[in-house]
Amino acid sequence: MSHIEFALLSASVQSLSQNPSPMVESARPHLRIDPPVADGNREALTVGTLFVPGNFGGSEFVPIVVQFHGAFWLGEHYVSTLIPEAVLVSVQLGSGSRVYNDVFENPMVFTTMIKEVNQALAWITDGYSRGGRIFLSSFSAGYGATRAILRNPEHYDRVDGILLADGLHASYVDGSSPPRLGEVAPEVISEDLDVFVRFARDAASGQKRMWVTHSEVFPGTYASTTETADYLLGQLDLSRTAVLVEGPNGMQQLSKVQQNGFYLDGFAGNSAPDHLDHSFALGEWLLRARSWLRSRR
């Protein structure tokens, strides 16, 4: 495991008290790229860093991609190569979802962020450009920020789409060591997932866009991304379609669901490299959202 992968994993782990994932997996390649230095301009915001690609086109409505957690250079690289007409705000706050939640549960943090982005766009384009679609992209613990933002009604209305890349968790009703009876999964605290269920319903009806990916990593002390994905599907009365195809970076896809603007893809793997694959596959996730991001809000 490279020092980059170790740093990403260390920042993603919420608890190692039970069922730590294997740190090494050698059954298949886990393709990685070296940290590129994307051409562009960077500006520190009150929270996060704004990146404007060097080949920025300056259209009237500019997609705003906000990246929570994961390597900032991945976001810069793929936005500049795949969606140069967009801008990126990279937010890296440290370990665990709580730190992301605690910062963004203050509604003014996100309000200020979008205001600062629009001010920068107006300055760069002499008043021509302003923010278009808002897309919240989170990996692992970054979902804490997305959830806090969506819990605010005004922000919920402003956000057009979200990506949860192997990062949607919830607590168990019976605590961190719930009983496990046969094939019955422990009950999750619905309040942890309610806003995502609402967003998923809106996406399934075509009003929003939502992409969810998950591995088979099983933390044990809190609900896994597989369990929370199953919860979403149960609330939406949707079922998985079984597949066996190669995904991005050699990932092995086992299931998929699509209903209008709602997409859920399940992948094999319960190791640290399997989890990190979802971060390094950011280019594929953005590619899937590109045409939608480019459309006028």
Read off φ and ψ for residue 56, nearest 5 degrees. -55, 130
SS3 64: strand
Per-residue pLDDT tens digits for 7-60: 555 444 444 345 667 777 777 878 888 888 899 999 999 999 999 999 998 889
> pLDDT digits over 114-169, tens only?
999 999 999 999 999 999 999 999 999 999 999 999 999 999 999 999 999 999 99
pTM for the full model?
0.91
Q: What gap in Å lies between CA 236 and CA 208, rounded to an integer?
A: 15
CA atoms within 13 A on the CB side of 269: 28
Give tens-digit pLDDT for 163-190. Answer: 999 999 999 998 887 877 777 788 999 9
Q: State the pLDDT at residue 16.
A: 39
In the numeric block, the tokens 């809000």 are attached to 297
Express as a percent the part of the chain with pLDDT over 90: 79
Select from 150, 230, 217 the least CA-distant residue to 188: 230
- What is residue 237's three-state secondary structure? coil
Percent of the chain exceeding pLDDT 70 equals 93
E strands along 69-215, which residues?
Answer: 87-91, 130-139, 161-165, 209-214
- ∠ CA 249-12-281, rounded to 5°: 15
Q: Which domains does the chain have, with CATH numbers?
A: 38-170+185-294 (3.40.50.1820)
* The pLDDT value given to residue 19: 67
Instruction: Please determine, for residue 3, whether its predicted confidence score (pLDDT) is greater than 70.
Output: no
Tallying the residues shown for the chain, one arrives at 297
Q: How far apart are CA 229 and CA 212, in angstroms?
A: 8
The strand order across the sheet containing 40-44 reads 40-44, 49-53, 87-91, 61-68, 130-139, 161-165, 209-214, 262-267, 252-259, 241-246
User: For residue 74, which of 63, 62, 64, 65 has the smallest C-alpha distance?
Assistant: 65
What is the rounded end-to-end Cα distance, in angstroms, of the chain? Answer: 41
